[in-house]
Amino acid sequence: MKALGDRYFTHGITRYYYHTFAHQPWNENIVPGMTMGPYGMQMHRNNSWYPHAGAYFDYVARCQYLLQQGEFVADFLYVYPAGAQNANEERHNIQPTPPAGYDYDVTGLDVLSELQVRNGRIVLPSGMCYRVLVIPESHYDGWWKSSLGNEETGIPAITEINHEWSLNSSNS
């Protein structure tokens, strides 16, 4: 459980929500007691490790606190059709794949009308900023060239990433 939780922390999760603790109305000699059937992980007072779980919960609370203090930094903002964000949670599924050492966010079309450019960066109303807007050509058939990726908007938008390319080079 800890290893899986740590993995999700490294993927950007900063808060856990424990969905359900099954009510245990009977005394300790009736185990495992009431469960949620095959759904999820059974976390309740009848688990053999539960009386010793305080250190684990303290660890999770401390990780969450520390991770929520930081501010996420991403270089690329990928735009995908509605519903596609959930399908692209793993880096290797994002197309075009971001270069090693660069991070990204994924958003839908609804955010495009809220984009601004300040100091050469793409800025959302929340204050989150990015260097480059990535619009996969296969999803949009070039519509963005006339509406976003032009001199008037100043939004640096691309459809493919050359992995030799650098945000610090003259290409930025």
Tell me: the pLDDT tens digits for 16-66? 887 767 777 888 787 777 777 777 777 778 888 888 999 999 999 999 999
- Tell me the pLDDT tens digit for each residue of 127-157: 899 988 887 766 555 555 545 555 555 666 6
Residues whose CB falls within 8 Å of the CB of residue 143, separated by 6 or more in sequence, listed in order: none
pTM, to two decimals: 0.59
Domain boundaries in the chain? 2-69, 76-158
DSSP labels, 97-162: PPPTT--EEEE-GGGGGG-EEETTEEE-TTS-EESEEE--HHHHTTHHHHHTSSTTT---EES---
